[in-house]
Structures are given as C-alpha cells and as structure tokens.
Amino acid sequence: MTETMRRATPADAGRLALLGGATFLTAFAFDHPGDAIVDHVTAHHAPEWYRRILADPACAVWIVETPLGAPVGYAVMTPPDVNHPTDPSDLELKRIYVLHGWQQGGWGAKLLRAVEAEAKARGAARLLLCVYTVNHRAQRFYAREGFADTGSMQTFHVGDVPFEDMIWAKSL
C-alpha cells in the first residue's frame, strides 16, 4: 500500500491546519522564537484560513495521505501575493510541505507537478514562490525543479521578529 494524492475539499480544513502547523514547526522551530511561532501557527494555520482558501475558486489545494488516511503532505496554489512585479496570469505556490518521515519519497515533486499542471490549465505563464533565505534544502529542491531567484526579497514576521524570503519564479 502507498500514499495517495488528491485535491483537498472544505472537509479537509482541519486536517490541513494540523498538518500545516506540524510541518511549519518542524521546518522553522530551529530559529523562530517559541511563543511567537506558536502564535504564528495558530493564526496562519487555522482551519478558517484553509476553509477560505478551499472556498476560493482562484486557489487550489492538494493533500497526500497514507493508506489509512493520515495527512502527510500538502500544497497550496493562490493568486500571487509577493513583493515582485507580477503578470495577471501568474500564480503562486503559497505552501508546499511534506512531513519529515515522508520526505525523500518524491511527494514534494509530485505535489509540485500537480500545482504546475493546474497552473498551466489556468493559463499561467509563470509560477512564483517565496523561500526562506536559510532554507537551503528547499532552495536546492526548487532549483532542481527549474525555479530561479528573481532577486526580490519579501519580509515576513513571526511575532515581532522579521525574517526574509527570496522570491523565486519558474516559467511554465
């Protein structure tokens, strides 16, 4: 038996919130302040955020599940919200995360392929994303997948602490 990937539905909002919080903590707890990261996860990985995204026809979400139905990975595509010039047809890979135990199994690439296929079907010429400046593993993945640094930066805050993301793009 193997994991499966499918489009998420509004019924998945709670599952995505738990998975989003778990993967964010796993990826960034090493350099984000404790109370601030918990508050950030509570606010930005709330079921309400996922319900809003899932209800928006301009967005799309995929989820990877174990054979028993446990969520282990997901990707979110949205209209771009980046500090970089965009074209009306651009889309953004807003989130893509796979739990540590399922990394190296090809699920990141499979999720990205699903996002790219949907973006192309919607007529997007380019896919944008933000990647944390010290997340070198993610940067290597995106570079292998054909993304390149645009040279633009975007600041995000976890609590009062600013962090820098690089904005990358890939022509579709």
Architecture of domain 4-125: 3-Layer(aba) Sandwich (3.40)
Tens digits of per-residue pLDDT, 25-68? 999 988 988 899 999 999 999 999 999 999 999 999 999 999 99
Output phi, psi for 13, to 5 deg: -55, -45
Tens digits of per-residue pLDDT, 69-100? 999 999 999 999 999 999 999 999 999 999 99
- pTM score: 0.95
Q: Are 161 and 139 in contact (CB under 8 A)?
A: no
Where exactly are the structural domains of the chain?
4-125
- For the chain, give the mean pLDDT: 96
Q: How far apart are the first and last CA of the chain?
A: 33
Residues 6+ apart with CB under 8 A from 159: 33, 35, 36, 37, 39, 40
User: What count of residues does the chain have?
Assistant: 172
Cα 83 from chain centre: 17
Q: Are 50 and 12 in contact (CB under 8 A)?
A: yes
In what order do the strands lie in the sheet containing 71-78? 4-7, 60-65, 71-78, 91-98, 126-132, 161-171, 148-158
